[in-house]
Amino acid sequence: MPLIGDDAPSFRARTTLGMVDFPDDYRGKWVIFFSHPGDFTPVCTTEFVRFASMQQEFKELNAELLGLSVDSNQSHIAWLEAIREKVVYKGLKNVDVMFPVIEDLSLEVSKKYGMIHPHSNYTPDELLEKFERSGGKLDFQQFSTETVRATFLIDPQAKIRAMFYYPFSNGRNMDEIKRLLQAMQKSDSEHVYTPENWHPGEDVIVPNPPTWVGAKERQQQAKEDKKCNPWFLCLKEDEQE
């Protein structure tokens, strides 16, 4: 399973929009790469409607959406057609999903990204019962091979910058994914940090100095700067805004 800062594992896969060669097809762009447990499932349907409705917002942030599940391409296409023709959710209807969804019947891509969590659809009591029935020898083949709700934010250099994992029963917060993307882009472009729940236009954090000399200078600055008190928490206005 890749970690933050690792190179995003490469792959070539069939999707609803043709073949994808990752990361080469996405060089210079951010990628929101996410998995869902299965087609024609309710939580996944709400997520796809929401992702599709936000696709242009992500494009404006130089970010592309890329989905995956272990279903076949034919199943993906049938499901996306049903979403467009039949689903009405939070006032959104006739939503056309125009980002690629990967077919991963072999689990090759899912395993590279640690998207398969065999125990994820079972309660602790159910797992204990299976363990006892097996005599203490669990066969992972008897567990689900569905992907969990994994999300990877991958930067233009194909480095993994953030990861989210949600359980089968609960949908993702799409606004948080967008907010974190904007925060990381702000940090990259201006060499600043962002405080909790930061949104564009709000104050950002000036990184602390790495030396004792710098710390003393910052302490002196804190005596005069209302946004820099105490010295180890210095804020400044969002310059672009």
Annotated active-site residue 44? The verdict is yes
Going along 137-196, which residue ranges are E strands? 149-154, 160-166
Compute CA 21 distance to the chain's CA centroid, rounded to the nearest angstrom.
19
Cis peptide before 2 (omega within 30 of 0): no
The contacts of residue 19 (CB under 8 Å, 6+ apart) are 12, 13
Tell me the C-alpha distance between 61 and 107, whole Å: 30
Closest by CA to 8, choosing from 116, 102, 112, is: 112
Asked whether residue 149 is marked as a ligand-binding residue, the answer is yes
Tell me the C-alpha distance between 198 and 17, whole Å: 35
User: β-pairing, 30-35 with 63-69?
Assistant: parallel
Query: 174: which 2 tokens?
Result: 């799409």
The contacts of residue 181 (CB under 8 Å, 6+ apart) are 30, 32, 58, 61, 63, 153
Q: Decide: residue 11, CB within 10 A, 0-12 exposed, 13-18 middle, 19+ buried.
A: middle
Question: Active-site residue among 31, 43, 44, 154?
Answer: 44
Closest by CA to 42, choosing from 178, 168, 176, is: 168
List, as residue ranges, the binding site for substrate: 149
Catalytic residues: 44
